[in-house]
Amino acid sequence: MKELVLNFPTQLHEALIIGQNYRFISPVKDFSNVVLTGLGGSGIGGSIVQNYVFDKVSIPFIVNKDYSLPKFVNSRSLVIVSSYSGNTEETISAMQQAIKARATIVCITSGGKIAEIAKKKKLDCILLPAGMPPRSCIGYSMTQVLFTFSHFGLIQDDLSKTIKASIKLLKADEKDIQSKARAIARKLYGKLPVIYSSSAFEGVAARVQQQLNENSKMLCWHNVIPEMNHNELVGWRDKDASKAVVFLKDAEDAERVRIRFQIIKQIIKKYTPNIIEINSKGKSYWEKVFYFIHLTDWVSVMLAELRKQDATEVRVIDFLKKELSKIA
């Protein structure tokens, strides 16, 4: 897993080439909505893109993480099917519903049943390099989601320029990123992490939680500001040094949100001394996203080492899938 994290900038370069070289079958058309269906490491990229296009796309875009699609999906819907393995049963079920609804479908996968169905039905299918844990391939999958949005005219970004700038930033800061990650991992060791971000980076906060769950083999949770100010903030009532709060902060967070961060920090430090602030780096939203991802991915694998855990194994998930496969 450490090697996969180290090679993240290379993955972004390869993802850019894949996106630039892919030729879509589906023509550009007027959509009434967009749905990305995918789970875990294959779906979290959709959540991050959802944050990005919040104020840029004039039609609804939702991320679906279940067996069923919303009732509104029809022939005027764009459905992006994201499953790295191509065998995620929930995503296959949703894909079949999208086919019945006559939606325009774009698959992002490394193969499996989804690639087989796409070939049979003559659907768009962007193939990714196979053989890696899905959570380590967010650069591949999320980049293709962006290229899909670009192809259909939903965003007008210069993806080549943006991703190249992100790669340059990560390579230039690699030593500093690892150094910061090591210090953060030491602070989180033996603690229960609580991740807070603005709504603009909620997908990133969820990604951090998932990486700590899967790579570090530990529980944690995340929430967003301002929503947590209306409920979870009241839960901070007992002194508990076993918890560690991680703030994901961006200089361009809304002014009122930045103020809320300051006040929340004052409140929480009464109950735990363990408060870590991670500031974004980069000029564009995507430079900041990829910086957050790369830094916190390093945190997760370094924590795995401290906890003497194998960052790659996910036996309990394999067991669940095996048990489910016994039931028709």
- pLDDT, tens digit, 9 for 90 and up, residues 153-212: 999 989 999 999 999 999 999 999 999 999 999 999 999 999 999 999 999 999 999 999
Question: Residue 231 sits in which domain range?
Answer: 173-306
- Residue type, position 106, single letter: V
Gap between the Cα atoms of 3 and 199, Å rounded? 31
The answer to whether residue 230 is catalytic is: yes
Q: Would 165 be classed as within a structural domain? A: no
Q: Would 209 be classed as within a structural domain? A: yes
Q: Would 246 be classed as within a structural domain? A: yes
Tens digits of residue pLDDT in 3-25: 999 999 999 999 999 999 999 99
The answer to whether residue 323 is catalytic is: no
The structure's pTM equals 0.95
Residues 134 and 182 occupy one common structural domain: no
Residues 180 and 155 occupy one common structural domain: no
Catalytic residue chosen out of the listed positions 122, 230, 308, 326? 230
Residues 131 and 219 occupy one common structural domain: no
| Residue 4 tokens, joined | 């996969």
Q: Would 274 be classed as within a structural domain? A: yes
Residues 108 and 255 occupy one common structural domain: no
Residues 301 and 188 occupy one common structural domain: yes
Among candidate residues 102, 135, 159, the one where a domain is terminated: 159
Q: Does residue 50 carry a pLDDT above 90?
A: yes
Under the banding of pLDDT at 50, 70 and 90, the label for residue 328 is low
How crowded is residue 101: how many other Cβ atoms within 10 Å of its Cβ? Answer: 18
Residues 146 and 179 occupy one common structural domain: no
**Alpha-carbon torsion angle 303, 304, 305, 311, nearest 10:** -140
Q: Tell me the CA distances in angstroms from 297 to 57, 199, 216, one per residue in order.
A: 29, 20, 10
Residues 222 and 89 occupy one common structural domain: no
Q: What is the CATH number of the domain that holds 228?
A: 3.40.50.10490
| Cβ–Cβ under 8 Å, residues 52 and 103 | no
The answer to whether residue 214 is catalytic is: yes
- Residue type, position 80, single letter: I
Residues 126 and 180 occupy one common structural domain: no
Under the banding of pLDDT at 50, 70 and 90, the label for residue 325 is confident
| Cβ–Cβ under 8 Å, residues 50 and 154 | no
Among candidate residues 159, 191, 214, the one where a domain is terminated: 159
Q: Would 65 be classed as within a structural domain? A: yes
What total of structural domains would you count in the chain? 2
pLDDT at residue 114 in the model:
98
Among candidate residues 133, 159, 185, the one where a domain is terminated: 159
Tens digits of residue pLDDT in 275-318: 999 999 999 999 999 999 999 999 999 999 999 999 998 899 98
Q: Would 108 be classed as within a structural domain? A: yes
Residues 7 and 88 occupy one common structural domain: yes
Residues 46 and 154 occupy one common structural domain: yes
- Nearest CA-CA partner of 39 in 227, 326, 321: 321
Residues 143 and 6 occupy one common structural domain: yes
Catalytic residue chosen out of the listed positions 56, 171, 239, 321? 321
Tens digits of residue pLDDT in 60-82: 999 999 999 999 999 999 999 99
- What is the DSSP secondary structure assignment for residue 194, as one 8-state letter? E
Q: Does residue 219 carry a pLDDT above 90?
A: yes
Q: Would 164 be classed as within a structural domain? A: no
Tens digits of residue pLDDT in 87-109: 999 999 999 999 999 999 999 99
Residues 215 and 249 occupy one common structural domain: yes
Catalytic residue chosen out of the listed positions 90, 202, 214, 287? 214
Q: Would 167 be classed as within a structural domain? A: no
